[in-house]
Structure 1
Amino acid sequence: MSEALCDIGFIGAGVMGKNLILNLVDNGYRVCAFDLDHGRLEALIEQDASERGDQPPRVEVCNSYTELLTRVKAPHLVILSVPAGAPVDDVCNKLLDAGLQADDIVIDTGNSLWTDSVERCKRYEGKLIFFTTAVSGGEVGARFGPSLMPSGDRYAWARIEPVWHAIAAKVDPATGQPIERFEPGNPVKEGEPCAAYIGPIGSGHFVKMVHNGIEYADMQMICEVYDVMRSALEMTPQEIAGVFREWNKGVLNSYLIDISAEVLDTEDSETGKPLVDVILDRAGQKGTGLWTAVGALQVGCPAPSIAEAVFARSLSTRKVLRTRAARKLAGPDVAPVPQEKRDEVIAQLHDALYCAKICVYAQGFDLMKLAAREQGWELNFSEIARIWRAGCIIRAVFLQSISDAYERDTKLSNLLLDDFFIEQIASHQGNWRRAVADATIGGIPVPAMSSALSYYDAFRRESLPANLLQAQRDFFGAHTFSRVDRPEQEKYHVLWGEAGRPVKKI
């Protein structure tokens, strides 16, 4: 084929699509782009012109699906950045009508539900090779290096791997720290790429879904710590920003702590007030946290902190009702923490956030493990932690410790059973407990951090009160139970209505 043909066809030039395209051309790939909205294509061309200086144009655009296929090398590699759901199928069908062949690869990079990806792969089998790649990192990540979670056909991955490794975020292999450079035309080429083949179709989007669930919980817990500092310690947003910046130098170093400090240190340009104080306390969501909570329930995985983070967002939307409740419902009458105790409380909050964060990741990785077992996936958890060290929203120094834990023991059943994390929680849990207790006594809600503590305490208990619960179920529904002094597979039922309540083996 002529060298003038493009390497990649790209459909969808919205915020994420445009930035992925510019990332691709920065790394030397010739891209032909198409979007139903021609204004987006014009914006893409303008940005390319502003970034490349006196160099030749790096991006081509076209007016139809048919034209796109004629201008891309065969077998075609076509990347989609379109909204999840029906638009993905619409584009696939239009590409087939335009002449797409069975050995052409179509990559969905949207936030699709993983089960939808599985169904699409079946639907298009023999017509095209449907592949998926979950992308994390937002607009900046897409432009200068995202975390990529690809899944699907292994043949397709062999073709896609060099492309994804080129555009992905990079990490210094010696330190585990991101290598970042935000210069158009000068991409980071050194370091380990934050892109790794996850497994069969759907597994990549499942892993990204869990990433987002962890993200929900991490964000919520940072907000809870912020709330305690403002409500109990009466600290200003700027003072809290300073604390977060100190925390960012240690074990809590992360993108989310970093941006939280920047947000809290920002003034509103109109009023001069702290920006955070003029933002309505009504949080939105796009569904991935909800999908994670639902997915956990479906496979029977305890992920209470992720669920609590979703519920916290839902409760925040009940602003009118909360305003009424604030005028009617009584809370504790507690004096603010004295100035001389501030540093002590801040230290407690630091350790509480750290321990709760460990438990949230334990919940997320446990969910991936149970789903992998159910779906027959072989997930590399050490590698998943590594590709989250840069480019994605939950990127943090903490992920290196998780990768190391699964490197030490590839069969690790739960992160809380790794020796490093056992020691970390043992040495920090006193402050965690005090922080949760003091917040509760003060009437300050900390649903994610407190649920993480309850998760930890339940996980470390050999015996739980589920014995009473199972007896209750047997009483009203004859659901049977196992005995501690008999093989577990043997089932028993109490004849509750009879004298002496005899136990019957079922």
Structure 2
Amino acid sequence: MEGTYDFGLVGLGVMGRNFILNVADNGFSAYGLDTDPEKVDALRLEGEGKKVDGTTGKAQFIQHLSKPRKIMLLVPAGAPVDAVIADLLPLMDKGDLIIDGGNSFFTDTNRRAEELQAKGVHFIGTGVSGGAKGARFGPSIMPGGEKAAYELVKPIFEAVAAKVNGEPCVDYMGAKSAGNYVKMVHNGIEYGLMQLISEIYDVLKTGLGKNNEELHKIFTDWNNDRLKSFLIEITSEIFVQKDEETGGDLVDIILDKAKQKGTGKWTSQNAMDLGTPIPTIDVAVSMRAISSFKSDRLKAQNLYPKPALPANLPSIQDIEAALFFAFIVTYAQGMTQLVAASKEYHYELDLAVISKIWRGGCIIRAELLEDMRKAFTKKNDLKSLLLDEDFARKLNASVGGARKVAAFAISAGIPVAGLSASLSYFDAFTTGRLPLNLIQAQRDHFGSHTYERLDKEGIFHTEW
């Protein structure tokens, strides 16, 4: 039937198919488009009995959608998004809405919004987190752009999003590319948390000799306490997964080269542009790059023997405290970047709202996010979680464990770049006087870059 479907979706891969089925499950009729007929057939098969259908023809797709049309794109970021928009635009009417649900770089979103606005078509860049399962059963959704345009799709997004205490994990993020930007930083935090978990795994396995069954129990216990989170939960499950071919533990057979799609790098690069330090996220990106040098690492391993393990091993409690501490610091870095970006790009982000919608559905969901929501609700201009009294208590109680674990790992030659970066960031942020006065003196000495003084205002230069 023409003109009767509530929602259209382009890109019927696993994410797209799961998202459109989620829409149909929640009482909205949905119509999909993909150039691959097998993907359209897969949608029809899985969606049998639901108000969902699909096609390979763009004209038919457009004709089946009710006006104003609401079309979501779940295609790879970059040129494919522009290609799909260019393909559909001649068939669309003024007042229709295009939603980019991929991991587009935020400046691309700004450009597309301006181009489409000139043609009378609404556009919102929307971050979607939760992976394939989240798309099917409830993701966290981060829309940004024209607020009036978001209202067109708000009932659908609120229906399909994950729910925490009855609250949907979706809300309007802010103007222009706010949605894609928030998702980018979400992914940067994700990089940091995953790096930290991998380091703690190494400390437990290499340093304390824990086997996979013991690791499963440790991470399961942690997931039942203050570290409760999606990433800790799936980590506990990984340790008991068997390899179908060998019967061994799958985690031990996986090559230690971690790949990346670019959102972590974008987060790091943009933080540099903003002058906002996020060293844990920076080093998480770098460690993935270092992991790619597998053959070189194997050669270097033979040139540089590791030191013997120290006699004093950290306790499981110390290691849990170290991870809890570094988790908080990583979230704090990402949130501080959002504060800076909101000011620079005029997003008007509400970090309490962002914390709220990250509590469920997304990859970085964690119990800690409810505490963050409370902190930013209590003080909406909070510049850093490290300046919140409740988080200060948490950090003061756990930093000792972080220092013990870092010292042990460094003495044992176990790389803990993320934990070390978290500690250094914390120590620098909580130090009233840093040795950077010497750096400014050096700059003035060799380049006449001037300096400021503690005892009076003004700009000064010395002939050294």
Q: Same fold (TM over 0.5)?
A: yes
Identify the match of residue 462 of structure 2 among 494, 497, 500.
494
Change (3 A) 1:284 1:444: same
Counterpart of 2:397 in structure 1 is 427
Q: Deviations over 1:149-188 (max 9, x none)?
A: 000111111111111000000001xxxxxxxxxxxxxxxx
User: Amino acid of the residue matched to residue 478 of structure 1?
Assistant: S
Matches for 1:412-423 after TM superposition, within 5 Å: 412-423=382-393
Change (3 A) 1:303 1:374: same
Change (3 A) 1:336 1:20: farther
Matches for 1:298-447 after TM superposition, within 5 Å: 298-334=273-309, 345-447=315-417
**How many residues are matched?**
463
Matches for 1:10-409 after TM superposition, within 5 Å: 10-49=9-48, 55=49, 57-98=50-91, 100-127=92-119, 128-172=121-165, 191-334=166-309, 345-409=315-379
| Percent sequence identity over aligned pairs | 42
SS in 1 for 2:47: helix
**Counterpart contact for 1:132–1:150, Cα < 8 Å:** yes
Q: Deviations over 1:36-63 (max 9, x none)?
A: 11111111111113xxxxx4x5212223
Distance in 2, Cα, partners of 1:362 & 1:33:
39
Runs of 4+ in 1 over 2 A off after TM superposition: 333-337
SS in 1 for 2:315: helix
Q: Deviations over 1:388-430 (max 9, x none)?
A: 1110001111110111111111111210011111111111211
Q: Deviations over 1:447-491 (max 9, x none)?
A: 00111000000000111111000111111111111111121xx21
TM value normalised by structure 2: 0.97
Name structure 1 gaps, 5 residues minimum: 50-54, 173-190, 497-506
User: Amino acid of the residue matched to residue 103 of structure 1?
Assistant: G
Q: CA deviation at 1:333?
A: 2.3
Name structure 2 gaps, 5 residues minimum: none
**Counterpart contact for 1:385–1:400, Cα < 8 Å:** yes
User: Amino acid of the residue matched to residue 126 of structure 1?
Assistant: A
Counterpart of 2:452 in structure 1 is 482
Q: CA deviation at 1:241?
A: 1.0
Q: Deviations over 1:268-312 (max 9, x none)?
A: 222222111111101111111111111110100010000011111
Distance in 1, Cα, partners of 2:383 & 2:64:
50
Q: CA deviation at 1:331?
A: 2.7
**Counterpart contact for 1:348–1:434, Cα < 8 Å:** yes
Distance in 1, Cα, partners of 2:100 & 2:27:
21
User: Amino acid of the residue matched to residue 462 of structure 2?
Assistant: V
Distance in 2, Cα, partners of 1:381 & 1:23:
27
Farther-moved stretch of structure 1 (34-43 vs 18-27) = 34-43
**Counterpart contact for 2:144–2:178, Cα < 8 Å:** yes
Q: Return the index of the structure with the highest Cα Rg.
A: 1
User: Amino acid of the residue matched to residue 19 of structure 2?
Assistant: L
Q: CA deviation at 1:367?
A: 0.3
TM value normalised by structure 1: 0.90
Farther-moved stretch of structure 1 (270-279 vs 361-370) = 270-279
Q: CA deviation at 1:3?
A: 8.7
Distance in 2, Cα, partners of 1:285 & 1:4:
40
User: Amino acid of the residue matched to residue 119 of structure 1?
Assistant: R
Distance in 1, Cα, partners of 2:381 & 2:204:
40
SS in 1 for 2:71: strand
Q: CA RMSD in A?
A: 1.3
Distance in 2, Cα, partners of 1:453 & 1:371:
24
